């Protein structure tokens, strides 16, 4: 029987066993995962997988799933991937009783769109392992639940598994997501391997498992702010980054933003990428200007770009260590250096060691994981030495939140400061994003126009720019530069062709800015000027994430190893009006290394939506500013005091500062 898109969504798990599916030959396949389960555990994994299906299919599916487990290290249930095209359709095309639920379906589809997702067949959106679901059965069931739910139910999701619809209220979130929540003692990388293979947990990364990924645009803005300010740190005032080099690695899900950000910041960007498919994808999408395959041509082209003071981005298909070492020999000065390989998963394809081909590495990591680990650590030591040689000549190097310094230090690389506690190099949060943005509440606010109409996006860009322009006139000097950068960003956003997948936009803004922009959108929706809009943010933000080597690396009161802020955030957002909330273990820097959360909210033009957005966005940003100010961060103290003046019902505990001389001779 032929079924249309809506009927297929509504049916959930099909009534008849669908035919077995051939894996598309050109797909960018997820790395083969570790074969970590014992025979007994494998049986448990199959038993777990089969509970989604009627008994009469078990025999045939058991063999098939056992095969998937043996070949891929995971059970994706590929046979159940639906035949319809998965992409963010206009909101009204989704079969739903609740508009909020339809908006969530749209966002799930965006995360699994072939043009957006890194390994769509395996339900991985980005970061090598950032999963929306563990398998296609979970996808089918979730979409079915969303199509059935009313505004008085909440869907609770455990690491991709839809536990079910529970009665709630119109003011409750429609979906509550947790990903990778573990008992702390079971939160080591191999625990993820094991419990993910068993089918009971998943790595949601940040916006993958929370349905809020909007393609690399999401990260371009933050990366632009970072690169621009890195150059501001080292160049004499008035000098531009044109003709100056930014060297980095990775053209994957997030790292693919680097060349685009480099172009916007106006420098020469050189970005190494070992996976030719990933490099070509970014080149074809226009995210990087040139593709170069051999190192001699790279040297020649870079010298030319320097001579002509060019603004250009170059993808080098090869290992980044090769460039660091070769540029040293050639005496090519690197002004700014960083790295965005996926070192949060160093042993499973996140970092490819120098001296081994891409294919050889892929073989070694699954066949001889211990040997592969040694190669990775050798390479990290080499990598760090080459960087040290450049920084000795004046290169400014910073860690880009990918656990480079952490893993290099674990590999015994010469990367520690003389005090043997700190790293030799700062993280981009410590030096740039923390003090300039997060402590003032600036973070990656984003929105998606659910009509799918590019004109709606143009209108929202204009609305957001008008709001910021009105605000900047009376803004205090401490945040004027940030606001001006953000105005330039939104002014040029369309020109920079950032949209991949849904009609989405990112814009760094503070609490006041986010709230005013969202409120202005809601008014425009009420006036019929634009369709409904989903607002949200990256987890990489002021309040949503506790991550001692990244988002909260500029917290110096010892509390950076706690995760209270992220937990308060998700709970606080959930009863202030979020349409969905999520909290994840892992994401960015690695499993067990971070707690991060986020939200999504549908603006439908109603007065209730205006109440919700104001209440929730206020808390969503000021929670983190309060914590950062309690940690004595000067910028956050400024911001929270300013907020208390504006909002009399906000009362935050302010720290008393201690004179150094009192502490000096105590111990």
Ligand X SMILES: NC(=O)c1ccc[n+]([C@@H]2O[C@H](COP(=O)([O-])OP(=O)(O)OC[C@H]3O[C@@H](n4cnc5c(N)ncnc54)[C@H](O)[C@@H]3O)[C@@H](O)[C@H]2O)c1
For ligand X, the binding residues (CB under 6 A) are 118, 126-128, 219, 222, 249-255, 272-275, 278, 319-320, 340-344, 351-352, 400-402, 540, 588
CB of 76 to ligand X, least distance (A): 18
Smallest separation, CB 322 to ligand X (Å): 8
Residue 95 or 401: the one with the smaller Cβ distance to ligand X is 401
Nearest to 215 by CA among 601, 497, 589, 546: 497
CB of 434 or CB of 531, closer to ligand X: 434
Joined together, the tokens standing for residue 16 give 């008849």
- Cβ proximity of 176 and 156 under 8 Å: yes
Q: Where are the beta strands (DSSP E) in 117-219?
A: 124-126, 130-131, 153-158, 161-167, 175-179
> Cα separation of 301 and 370, whole Å?
38
Neighbouring CB atoms inside 10 A of 476's CB total: 10
In the complex with ligand X, which residue's Cβ is closer, 122 or 456? Answer: 122
Which one, 241 or 588, has the nearer CB to ligand X? Answer: 588
- If we measure between CA atoms, which residue out of 206, 128, 225, 148 comes closest to residue 600? 206
Q: How far is the CB of 342 from ligand X (least distance, A)?
A: 4
Of 172, 2, 213, nearest in space to 88 by CA = 213
Nearest to 191 by CA among 159, 161, 163: 159
Residue whose C-alpha is closest to residue 482's, from 220, 264, 229: 229
Q: Which is nearer to ligand X, 216 or 241 (CB)?
A: 216
Residue 444 burial (10 A CB sphere; 0-12, 13-18, 19+): buried
Q: Which runs of consecutive H residues, i.e. helices, occur in 511-576? A: 511-526, 564-574
Q: Smallest distance from the beta carbon of 629 to ligand X, in angstroms?
A: 23
Residues 496, 497, 499: CA angle, nearest 5 degrees: 130
Strand, helix or coil at 176? strand
Q: Which is nearer to ligand X, 12 or 318 (CB)?
A: 318
Residue 129 or 522 with smaller CB distance to ligand X: 129
Q: Least separation, in Å, of the C-beta of 628 and ligand X?
A: 18
- Which of 361/515 has CB closer to ligand X? 361
3-class SS of residue 638: helix
Strand partners, 269: 246, 313
Q: Is 341 or 486 the residue whose CB approaches ligand X more closely?
A: 341
Beta strands in 39-174 (DSSP E): 124-126, 130-131, 153-158, 161-167
Q: What is the DSSP letter of 457?
A: H
Distance CA 208, CA 117 (A): 9
Residue nearest to ligand X (CB): 252
Residue 344 C-beta: closest distance to ligand X, Å? 4
> Min. distance of Cβ 81 from ligand X in angstroms?
21
Q: What is the 3-state secondary structure (H, E, C) of 423-469?
A: ECCCEHHHHHHHHHCHHHCCEEEEEEECCCCHHHHHHHHHHHHHHHH
In the complex, the smallest distance separating the C-beta of residue 521 from ligand X, rounded to whole angstroms, is 25
Report phi then psi at 309, rounded to 5. 50, 45
How many whole angstroms separate alpha carbon 274 and alpha carbon 14? Answer: 40
Q: What is the CA radius of gyration of the chain?
A: 24
Instruction: Classify 452 in phi/psi space as left (phi over 0), alpha (psi -120 to 50) or beta.
Output: left
CB of residue 390 to ligand X, shortest distance in Å: 16
CA 371 – CA 206 distance, rounded (Å):
30
Q: Closest approach of Cβ 343 to ligand X, in Å?
A: 6
H-helix or E-strand containing 664? helix 660-664
Q: Do 435 and 625 meet the contact criterion of CB atoms below 8 Å apart? A: no
Give whichever of 273 and 604 is closer to ligand X, judged by the CB atom.
Answer: 273
Nearer to ligand X, 275 or 409 (CB): 275
Q: How far is the CB of 321 from ligand X (least distance, A)?
A: 6
Q: Cβ closer to ligand X: 380 or 493? A: 380
Q: Which is nearer to ligand X, 48 or 338 (CB)?
A: 338
Beta carbon of residue 525, minimum distance to ligand X (angstroms, whole number): 30
| CB of residue 513 to ligand X, shortest distance in Å | 20
Please name the residue ranges forming H helices in 29-72. 39-50, 58-72
Cα atoms found within 13 Å of the Cα of residue 526, Cβ hemisphere only: 12
Closer CB to ligand X, 118 or 179, in the complex: 118
Shortest distance (Å) from residue 265 CB to ligand X: 14
């Amino acid at each position: 029987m032929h079924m249309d898109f809506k009927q297929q969504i509504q049916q959930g798990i099909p009534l008849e066993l669908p035919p077995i599916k051939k894996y598309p030959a050109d797909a960018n396949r997820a790395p083969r995962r570790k074969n970590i389960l014992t025979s007994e555990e494998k049986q448990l994994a199959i038993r777990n997988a089969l509970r989604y299906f009627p008994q009469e299919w078990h025999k045939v599916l058991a063999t098939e799933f056992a095969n998937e487990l043996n070949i891929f290290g995971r059970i994706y249930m590929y046979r159940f991937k639906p035949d319809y095209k998965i992409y963010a359709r206009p909101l009204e095309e989704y079969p739903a009783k609740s508009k909020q639920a339809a908006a969530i379906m749209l966002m799930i589809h965006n995360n699994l769109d072939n043009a957006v997702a890194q390994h769509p067949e395996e339900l991985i959106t980005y970061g090598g392992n950032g999963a929306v679901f563990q398998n296609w059965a979970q996808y089918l069931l979730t979409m079915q639940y969303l199509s059935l739910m009313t505004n008085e139910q909440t869907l609770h999701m455990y690491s991709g598994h839809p536990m079910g619809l529970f009665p709630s209220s119109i003011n409750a979130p429609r979906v509550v997501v947790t990903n990778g929540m573990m008992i702390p003692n079971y939160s080591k990388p191999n625990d993820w391997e094991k419990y993910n293979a068993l089918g009971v947990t998943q790595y949601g990364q940040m916006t993958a498992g929370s349905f809020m990924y909007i393609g690399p645009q999401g990260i371009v803005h933050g990366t632009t702010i970072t690169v621009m300010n890195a150059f501001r740190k080292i160049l004499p005032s008035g000098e531009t980054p044109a003709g100056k080099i930014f060297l980095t690695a990775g053209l994957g899900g997030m790292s693919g933003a680097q060349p685009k950000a480099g172009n916007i910041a106006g420098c020469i960007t050189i970005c190494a990428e070992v996976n030719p498919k990933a490099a070509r994808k970014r080149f074809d999408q226009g995210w990087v200007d040139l593709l170069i395959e051999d190192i001699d041509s790279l040297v020649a082209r870079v010298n030319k770009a320097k001579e002509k003071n060019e603004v250009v981005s170059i993808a080098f298909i090869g290992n980044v260590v090769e460039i660091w070492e070769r540029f040293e020999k050639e005496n090519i000065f690197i002004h700014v250096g960083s790295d965005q390989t996926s070192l949060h998963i160093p042993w499973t394809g996140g970092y490819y060691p120098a001296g081994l081909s891409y294919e050889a590495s892929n073989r070694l990591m699954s066949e001889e994981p211990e040997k592969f680990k040694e190669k990775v650590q050798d390479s990290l030591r080499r990598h760090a030495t080459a960087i040290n040689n450049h920084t000795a000549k004046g290169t400014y190097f910073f860690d880009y939140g990918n656990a480079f310094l952490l893993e290099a230090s674990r590999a015994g690389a010469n990367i520690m400061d003389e005090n043997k506690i700190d790293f030799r190099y700062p993280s981009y949060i410590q030096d740039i994003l923390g003090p300039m943005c997060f402590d003032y509440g600036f973070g990656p606010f984003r929105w998606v126009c659910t009509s799918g109409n590019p004109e709606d996006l143009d209108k929202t860009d204009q609305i957001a720019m008008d709001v910021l322009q009105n605000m900047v006139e009376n803004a205090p000097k401490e945040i004027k530069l940030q606001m001006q950068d953000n105005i330039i960003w939104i002014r040029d956003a369309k020109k920079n062709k950032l949209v991949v997948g849904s009609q989405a936009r990112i814009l760094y803004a503070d609490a006041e800015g986010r709230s005013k922009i969202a409120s202005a959108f809601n008014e425009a929706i009420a006036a019929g000027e634009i369709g409904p809009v989903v607002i949200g943010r990256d987890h990489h933000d002021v309040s949503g994430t506790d991550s001692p080597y990244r988002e909260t690396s500029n917290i110096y009161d010892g509390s950076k190893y706690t995760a209270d802020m992220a937990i308060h955030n998700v709970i606080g957002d959930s009863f202030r009006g979020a349409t969905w909330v999520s909290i994840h273990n892992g994401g960015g820097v690695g499993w067990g290394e971070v707690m991060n959360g986020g939200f999504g909210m549908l603006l439908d033009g109603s007065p209730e939506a205006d109440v919700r957005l104001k209440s929730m966005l206020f808390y969503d940003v000021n929670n983190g500013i309060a914590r950062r100010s309690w940690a004595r961060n000067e910028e956050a103290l400024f911001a929270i005091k300013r907020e208390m003046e504006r909002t009399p019902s906000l009362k935050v505990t302010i720290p008393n500062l201690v004179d150094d001389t009192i502490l000096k001779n105590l111990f």
